[in-house]
Amino acid sequence: MVSVLHREDRYIVIKRSDLDKIPGKQRIEFSKASRVAHERMFAAGAPPRQFLVIESDWPEYELAWASIEARVLGSGAAPLTGTRLLELHSSELRAARMETATLRAQLDERNELLRDSSGKLIRLAAHLISAPLFALQDLQDEDKKMTRARVDKAVDTADARLKDAAYELRRIADALSASAGPSSPTWSCQACQVEQPTDRACDACAGQTALITARS
């Protein structure tokens, strides 16, 4: 019976966000090489496999290893009780507290953005209403002659102010929409229609991808 569990390095796992850090040409070459390797393995009789990847900084990591150790070593494994169980749960609790603190900080930041943007929206609404009046105010002065050129200039000025205010209003609205929660853009391969979360070459066929939607 096995008395010591050795954590074997039997898998090669590549995180998508890490793969995004290499240049596009290298990503395409790697994608093609990976696809060829998979095809050759399946042709040689390798069965399809499914995996659950648990990163080492996740609270479930040591719990998973402890469970595997208990299964492999059988009665010789240390039970998940007492001090060891407390350590594992304490680690999980610390991770949960850190995540809670991070989420609370993000919430406070978004609330501050909402408060700041609300004031800007009120000021912009007032500006949208008053911009034409301010632009045409000069025409009401008795000392100035209402020529066609002056009317055209005033109208152009009012139109420019309205466009600037509308653009700022749209920008703030987009910021408020983004603050409601992160979105996940999705790209689709134009050749094989496979969807993926990045705009790099298709992971399946290395074809060109195009943005199709943003999912909340």
Domain residue limits, the chain: 1-80, 81-146
Instruction: List pLDDT tens digits, range 163-196.
Output: 776 666 666 666 666 555 445 567 777 876 777 7
Task: Report how far residue 170's alpha carbon sits from residue 174's, in angstroms, rounded to the nearest whole number.
Answer: 6
**H or E element at residue 147:** none
107 pLDDT higher than 70: yes
| Contact indicator for 195, 186 with CB cutoff of 8 Å | yes
Tokens of 189: 């391969």
CB 160 within 8 A of CB 132: no
Q: Give the position of tokens 């953005």.
A: 113
Pair 117, 177: CB distance under 8 Å: no
Cβ neighbours around 196 below 10 Å, total? 16
The residue ranking higher by pLDDT, 188 or 84, is 188
CA 186 → CA 19, 34, 199, 216, distances in Å?
Answer: 17, 22, 8, 11
Q: How confident is the model at residue 88 (pLDDT cuts 50, 70, 90)?
A: low
- Position 44 scores a pLDDT of 92
